[in-house]
């Protein structure tokens, strides 16, 4: 479709949103009426863009790849990403080691590489941004307190934090926050989640998580509700967690948290590598049609993107190490289960996984309709949050220049 076409389509969506909302609310008084329209509002344009993508380009859009570096990327790194043409990139602590300006240069360099692709699609740029123990930045942005502390102060405070965090992330070039955790703290998950949950009161969790999601969205950053459908004590980085609950308990104690997050506009839901035997005795949620499609997408009516947790976690790879063939098989299974965006902390596996997806579609192991549904959801997110602006170097420069003032204002407001 070309860089210019996508940029103009995305810009048009942003201008329409601004025209609808700018005249009725100031930056300090915005509320739910000013949230981005739902994904379905961008369906027609997303379908048009889908029609311009070939099979390999479609499969590339399903990849969320970890990248190296902590400042302007090397030519080789940009070329690798351009050739792989993923839907997005994933940032870790080592990427932000040199501070937000260096990170903005890193992200901008990769967006320039994305602009060089034939399809000209901007990148989703994702980072964990929960606060407390799960917070990648060491300097240059407002440090968020743990969700446990936020839960004690309530939804109004959570909304303020989401709003300020979103403004700061957007200035750097991050457009997808892998937050918040929407699970209620319980005896079965306390060992894993601890202070990452807003607390044991479901109403307080819904209030705080919903306000944080809306705060991010008001600043132009997509939020991710996690971890669907819930967690047990075992850390999926170390092994396979098993959530021993009945279907009735799942519907009573777990699903309402995600239903609430969806109602507040969560753009993404992160799938947990957790086994729920009462729903699927053999496949964890990431690979389970019964959980991802039947429950999340159909029963809960989720229209956004279902993103997997890292496919390199031991919950999926135990016994096979980090075997790329095993990860590629998990990727194919996840897409068939209903996952739309595949998280790969080792971005070098991207070409292998992309090739596996292409082969699976050509052989009929993945229906092309399922692939198209995933790509449309990703394109809708990119349009909904105006990601095309990231392809404009001058717009990026203005954003990062504004960051120090935004951080100072955040300090004043949060105090």
Instruction: Name the token pair of 11.
Output: 């810009």
Q: Provide the edge-to-edge strand list for the sheet that holds 124-127.
A: 305-308, 268-271, 222-228, 176-177, 124-127, 88-91, 63-66, 342-344
Give backbone dihedrals phi and psi of 58, rounded to 5 degrees, phi first.
-60, -45
How many other CB atoms are there within 10 angstroms of residue 4's CB atom?
11
Render 270-307 in DSSP notation, one character per residue: EEP--B-TTT-SSS-GGG-HHHIIIIIIIIS---SEEE
Query: What sign does the CA torsion over 82, 83, 85, 91 have?
Result: negative
State the catalytic residue, choosing from 34, 206, 280, 309: 309
The span from the CA of 107 to the CA of 193, in Å, is 30
264 is catalytic: no
As given in the structure block, the two tokens for residue 336 are: 């068939």
Compute the half-sphere exposure of residue 392: CA atoms within 13 Å on the CB side of its CA. 14
The dihedral formed by the CA atoms of 16, 19, 25 and 31, expressed in degrees to the nearest 10: -10
Number of neighbouring beta carbons within 10 Å of residue 358: 18
- H or E element at residue 70: none
Q: How far apart are CA 377 and CA 388, in angstroms?
A: 16
Catalytic residue among 237, 273, 372, 373: 237
- CA pair distance 316, 325, nearest whole angstrom: 12
280 is catalytic: no
- Mind spelling out the 3-state secondary structure of 82-128? HHHCCCEEEECHHHHCCCHHHHHHHHHHHHHHHHCCCCCCCCEEEEC
Handedness of CA 60, 66, 71, 75 (dihedral sign): negative
Q: Can the peptide bond before residue 408 be classed as cis, meaning omega within 30 degrees of 0?
A: no
Helix (H) or strand (E) holding 312: none
Active centre residues (catalytic): 237, 309
């Amino acid at each position: 479709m070309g860089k210019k076409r996508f940029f103009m389509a995305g810009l048009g969506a942003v201008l329409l949103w601004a025209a609808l909302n700018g005249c009725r609310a100031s930056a300090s008084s915005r509320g739910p009426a000013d949230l981005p329209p739902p994904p379905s509002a961008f369906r027609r344009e997303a379908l048009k863009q889908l029609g311009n993508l070939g099979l390999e380009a479609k499969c590339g859009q399903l990849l969320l790849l970890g990248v190296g570096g902590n400042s302007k990327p090397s030519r080789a790194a940009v070329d690798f990403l351009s050739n792989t043409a993923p839907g997005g990139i994933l940032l870790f602590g080592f990427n932000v080691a040199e501070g937000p300006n260096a990170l903005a240069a890193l992200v901008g360099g990769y967006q320039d590489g994305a602009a060089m692709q034939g399809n000209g699609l901007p990148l989703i740029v994702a980072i964990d941004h929960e606060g407390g123990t799960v917070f990648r930045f060491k300097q240059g942005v407002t440090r968020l307190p743990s969700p446990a502390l936020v839960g004690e102060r309530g939804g109004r405070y959570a909304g303020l934090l989401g709003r300020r965090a979103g403004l700061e992330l957007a200035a750097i070039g991050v457009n997808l926050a892998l937050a918040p955790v929407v699970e209620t703290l319980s005896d079965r998950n306390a060992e894993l989640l601890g202070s990452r949950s807003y607390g044991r009161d479901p109403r307080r969790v819904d209030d705080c998580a919903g306000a944080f999601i809306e705060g991010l969205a008001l600043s132009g950053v997509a939020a991710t509700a996690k971890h669907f459908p819930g967690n047990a004590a075992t850390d999926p980085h170390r092994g396979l967690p098993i959530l021993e609950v009945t279907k009735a308990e799942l519907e009573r104690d777990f699903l309402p948290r995600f239903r609430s997050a969806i109602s507040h506009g969560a753009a993404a839901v992160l799938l947990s590598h957790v086994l729920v035997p009462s729903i699927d005795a053999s496949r964890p949620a990431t690979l389970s049609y019964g959980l991802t499609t039947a429950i999340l997408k159909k029963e809960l009516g989720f229209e956004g993107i279902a993103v997997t947790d890292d496919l390199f976690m031991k919950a999926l790879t135990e016994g096979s190490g980090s075997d790329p063939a095993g990860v590629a098989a998990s990727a194919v299974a996840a897409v068939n289960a209903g996952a739309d965006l595949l998280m790969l902390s080792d971005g070098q596996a991207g070409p292998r996984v992309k090739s596996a997806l292409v082969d699976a579609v050509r052989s009929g192991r993945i229906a092309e309709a399922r692939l198209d549904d995933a790509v449309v959801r990703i394109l809708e997110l990119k349009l909904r949050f105006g990601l095309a602006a990231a392809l404009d170097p001058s717009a990026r420069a203005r954003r990062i220049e504004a960051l120090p003032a935004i951080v100072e204002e955040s300090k004043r407001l949060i105090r």
